[in-house]
Amino acid sequence: MRRLLLAALLTAPLVPACISSAAAQTAPRWSLAIHGGAGVIERDKLTPEQDKAIRAALARALEAGSAILAKGGAALDAVEAAIKVLEDDPHFNAGRGAVLTWDGHNELDAAIMDGRTRAAGAVAGVTATRHPVSLARAVMEKSDHVFLSGAGADAFSRVQKLEQAGPEWFATPERRRQLETLKANKLSAIDVDRKYGTVGAVARDASGHLAAATSTGGITGKRWGRIGDAPVIGAGTYADDRACAVSATGAGEYFIREGVAHEICARIRFAREAPQVAADRVMDEVKALGGDGGVIVNSPDGTIAWSYNTPGMYRGRISAGGKPVVAIYRDEP
């Protein structure tokens, strides 16, 4: 009897029981959600110019990803395209504009995962690849490995002929100022940045497949090769067609301990929780541990959820037939 029950559970429909059959029939053909970090993001913390520029960048990322999905393209291609836009924008802590380590250079992390096959690729501590998310995808598709780091990952990037960039591309004057402020005033990374800077994307394509990707520069003043949750499969990034796709941003040490991304998917798959319920409950557990941040979630029926326990989160979403939505502050819809 136990074996029969286990078999029934593992072969149950992909759509959680909390989603009605009628809802499944009217689900969007494709959907995409993105984030650009969470933290102390309040209206008085951004100038009107910064607010406008950040919204424009989020909109460009949604446009890049949705253009692929609208043509029947793969979720994997869509999340990579969206992330690359954000990696090139200095308003976000990923790629160009990534924060600096204690020694004043950039160490970049990224991950990507295909929900169809659960293939994944990740890199940490890379220094010269213009788009770390593309390097993570190369690890997934062109190596026998899941996770590469440091000099080895940089060498693999060159072998794969990915576009390289020098320190002058990644490091910006604002990030140098933040590092100097942190050192001079003996601050923590969150005190100087006021947010956890990571970019992420989760997509469901017209074929019903899911994908997730995340990219980050880590935290200002990080030392000793510190790695957060973003490139850790199951913590900051996860995708499984049977459950959901997740990208996280926040206090990485807590997200790793909670296994946030996989935990959300497990709740959806086995407990049949709705995406919003699963995301909220896991973020409550992160908060109970002492951590904060946020997540974006996409599900097999295209339902999007986001959850965060900080004052704000850079975020956006779009579905087939709908208009893009971009938001920053908690009081926005």
pLDDT digits (tens, 9 = 90+) for 270-294: 999 999 999 999 999 999 999 999 9
**Backbone conformation region of residue 110, classed left if phi is above 0, alpha if psi is from -120 to 50, else beta:** beta
For residue 110, give the CATH number of its domain: 3.60.20.30
Tell me, yes or no, whether 21 lies in a domain.
Answer: no
Q: For tokens 């942190």, what's the residue?
A: 182
Mean pLDDT of 201-220: 97
pTM of the full predicted structure?
0.91
Give the span between the Cα atoms of 202 and 76, in whole angstroms.
9
Q: Is 33 helix (H, G, I), strand (E, B) or coil?
A: strand
Tell me, yes or no, whether 5 lies in a domain.
Answer: no
Q: For tokens 């490139």, what's the residue?
A: 231
- Its domain, for residue 188, covers 27-329
Mean pLDDT of 100-126: 97
Q: What are phi and psi of 320, to 5 degrees?
A: -55, 130
Tell me, yes or no, whether 174 lies in a domain.
Answer: yes
Tell me, yes or no, whether 7 lies in a domain.
Answer: no
**Whole-number pLDDT of residue 40:** 80
CA 231 vs CA 19, 76, 298, 330: distances in Å: 30, 16, 18, 26
User: How many domains does the chain fold into?
Assistant: 1
Tell me, yes or no, whether 52 lies in a domain.
Answer: yes
Could you list the beta-strand ranges (E) of 129-197.
147-149, 195-196
Question: Where in the sequence numbering do the catalytic residues fall?
Answer: 198
CA proximity to 244, closest of 82, 118, 87, 105 = 118
Tell me, yes or no, whether 213 lies in a domain.
Answer: yes
pLDDT tens readout for residues 152-208: 999 999 999 999 999 999 999 999 999 999 899 888 776 666 667 799 999 999 999
Tell me, yes or no, whether 34 lies in a domain.
Answer: yes
What pairs with residue 213 in β-bridges? 112, 201
* Number of neighbouring beta carbons within 10 Å of residue 102: 14
**Whole-number pLDDT of residue 68:** 98
Tell me, yes or no, whether 315 lies in a domain.
Answer: yes
Q: How far is CA 54 from the centre of its chain?
A: 17
